[in-house]
């Protein structure tokens, strides 16, 4: 059950309308790494969680907070669209610079959304449920969550640099700080799970069935040997099971792919003699 409190989690207002920036802000609302994505990802991970109750509770805590971030961004986008496009259209006849700015506005904000936000990214692509991950394996999911928060924070930081509006920057500074917390949160949760089950996902598969000869080889499949100096090419593997082995010139060991001609009813190209 969800209850809506009639105020945003953090109060911030833009100092002036900016329909072009409203279009940019759509990315962190409805883009691949936007707030709608993490909201849905965390909630479904929580609803599907069959592990310890503390993980389910934590996922639903943060998923519910992300609903409030969706509300904050939608509200900010609507505020950035206040008096747009009417005021800008009136000025455009006088100022060619403003006219060029109007050219960057998302027309759907006015035509479709009535000067409001939409569940789309900054170029109008609709939000997609395939952006979300909820596999039932918490270690795999938490690593996906860390990536989502890392990419999301990166985008919000870039947006922060794209505006000098103090009200918008105030809201973004809040979101950046919460993304800092969430990255730290997932790092801590990942470390806890790795301590319990190891670093390789899934931990429940019998590794005796792996082709162990190639399980720890770093294969250099491009020109140059710079990658040889990396931590991933020599020394103990993070799972503590083996040592990395650098292979400078990997050799294929499989079959040469020779397919048989298709039967007649397929009507493929016949073999030439």
Domain of residue 95, CATH code: 1.20.1260.10
Q: Are 95 and 181 found together in one domain?
A: yes
Helix (H) or strand (E) holding 235: strand 235-236
Per the structure, the complete domain to which residue 214 belongs is given by: 207-247
Is residue 1 situated within a structural domain? no
> What is the domain count for the chain?
2
Cα atoms in the 13 Å half-sphere on the side-chain side of 122 = 17
Same domain? 112 vs 228? no
Res 35: pLDDT: 98
Q: Is the residue at 260 inside a domain?
A: no
Q: Is the pTM of this model over 0.95?
A: no
- pLDDT (tens, 9 = 90+) of the chain, 273 residues, equals 899 999 999 999 999 999 999 999 999 999 999 999 999 999 999 999 999 999 999 999 999 999 999 999 999 999 999 987 666 556 655 666 566 556 678 888 888 898 999 999 999 999 999 999 999 999 999 999 999 999 999 999 999 999 999 999 999 999 999 999 999 999 999 999 999 999 999 999 988 888 888 999 999 999 999 999 999 999 999 999 899 999 999 998 888 888 888 999 999 988 777
Longest dimension (CA), the chain: 78
Based on the domain organization, do 44 and 135 belong to the same domain? yes
* Same-domain check for residues 47 and 126: yes
If asked whether residues 78 and 188 sit together in one domain, one would say yes
To which residue do tokens 């509200």 refer? 75
Q: Does residue 135 lie within any of the structural domains? A: yes
Let me know if residue 253 belongs to a domain.
no
Residue 8 falls inside a structural domain: no
87 in the same domain as 54: yes
**Planar angle of CA 144, 148, 149, nearest 5 degrees:** 120
| Domain contains 108 | yes
């Amino acid at each position: 059950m969800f209850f809506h409190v009639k105020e945003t989690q953090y109060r911030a207002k833009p100092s002036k309308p900016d329909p072009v920036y409203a279009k940019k802000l759509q990315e962190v609302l409805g883009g691949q790494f936007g707030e709608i994505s993490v909201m849905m990802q965390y909630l479904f991970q929580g609803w599907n969680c069959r592990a310890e109750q503390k993980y389910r509770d934590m996922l639903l805590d943060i998923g519910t907070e992300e609903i409030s971030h969706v509300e904050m961004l939608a509200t900010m986008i609507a505020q950035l669209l206040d008096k747009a496009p009417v005021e800008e259209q009136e000025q455009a006849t006088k100022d060619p610079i403003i006219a060029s700015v109007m050219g960057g506005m998302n027309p759907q904000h006015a035509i479709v959304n009535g000067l409001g936000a939409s569940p789309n990214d900054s170029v109008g692509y609709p939000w997609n449920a395939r952006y979300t991950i909820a596999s039932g394996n918490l270690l795999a999911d938490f690593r996906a969550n860390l990536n989502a928060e890392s990419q999301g924070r990166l985008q919000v930081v870039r947006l922060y640099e794209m505006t000098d509006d103090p009200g918008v920057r105030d809201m973004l500074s809040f979101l950046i700080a919460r993304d800092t917390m969430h990255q730290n949160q997932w790092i801590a949760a990942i470390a806890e799970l790795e301590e319990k089950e190891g670093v390789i996902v899934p931990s429940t598969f019998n590794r005796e069935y792996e082709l162990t000869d190639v399980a720890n080889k770093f294969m250099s499949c491009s020109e140059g040997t710079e990658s040889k100096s990396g931590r991933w090419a020599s020394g103990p593997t993070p799972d503590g099971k083996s040592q990395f082995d650098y292979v400078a010139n990997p050799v294929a060991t499989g079959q040469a792919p020779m397919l048989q001609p298709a039967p007649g009813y397929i009507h493929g190209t016949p073999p030439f003699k």
